[in-house]
Amino acid sequence: MRRRQLPVHSPVTPRAVCSAVLQALGLGHDPRPAMAARLARDHAAESVTLSGSGTEALQLAIRLARRRVGNSTLALPAFTCFDVGAAAVAAQARLRLYDVDPATLTPDLGSLERLLKSGVRAVVVTPLYGLPVDWDAMTALLDRHGAFAIEDAAQGHGAMWRGQPLGRLGVMSVLSFGRGKGWTGGSGGALLLRGGGAGCVRPNAPVATRTRFGELNVLHRIAAQWALGRPAVYALPAALPWLKLSETVYRDAPPPRAMTRTASACIEASRQVAEREAVARRENGRAILGALASASQLGVVQPVPNATPGFLRFPVRLARGLRGFASAAEALRLGVVASYPSTLATVPQVRACMDSLDDRWPGGDELSRTLFTAPTHSLLTVEERNELIQLLLSYRASSGA
Contact (CB, 8 A) for 280 and 377: yes
Q: Report the candidate in 208, 168, 130, 139 with the shortest Cα–Cα distance to residue 376.
A: 130
Number of domains in the chain: 1
pLDDT value for 366: 98
Look up the domain containing 36 and give its range.
1-401
pLDDT digits (tens, 9 = 90+) for 28-79: 899 999 999 999 999 999 999 999 999 999 999 999 999 988 878 999 999 9
* 15 contacts 222 by C-beta, under 8 angstroms: no
Residue type, 125: V
Please give the Cα distance from 4 to 1 (Å, whole number): 9
What's the pLDDT at 200?
54
Which residue stretches of the chain have pLDDT < 70?
Answer: 1, 196-210, 241-246, 400-401
pLDDT of residue 203: 61
Residue among 139, 178, 176 at smallest CA distance from 156: 176
Task: Name residue 47's beta-bridge partners.
Answer: 193
pTM for this predicted structure: 0.94
E strands within 194-342?
299-300, 307-308, 314-317, 337-338
User: Roughly how many angstroms between the first and final C-alpha of the chain, as a whole number?
Assistant: 34
Give helix 382-393 / helix 271-291 axis angle, nearest 10°.
40
Q: Which long-range contacts (CB under 8 A, 24 or more apart) does 348-352 make?
A: 349/85, 349/86, 349/89, 349/250, 349/252, 350/76, 350/85, 350/88, 350/89, 350/95, 352/89
Gap between the Cα atoms of 250 and 135, Å rounded: 28
Q: How far is CA 73 from CA 48, 128, 214, 236, in A?
A: 25, 23, 35, 44
Please give the pLDDT value at position 401.
46
CATH number, domain with residue 390 = 3.40.640.10
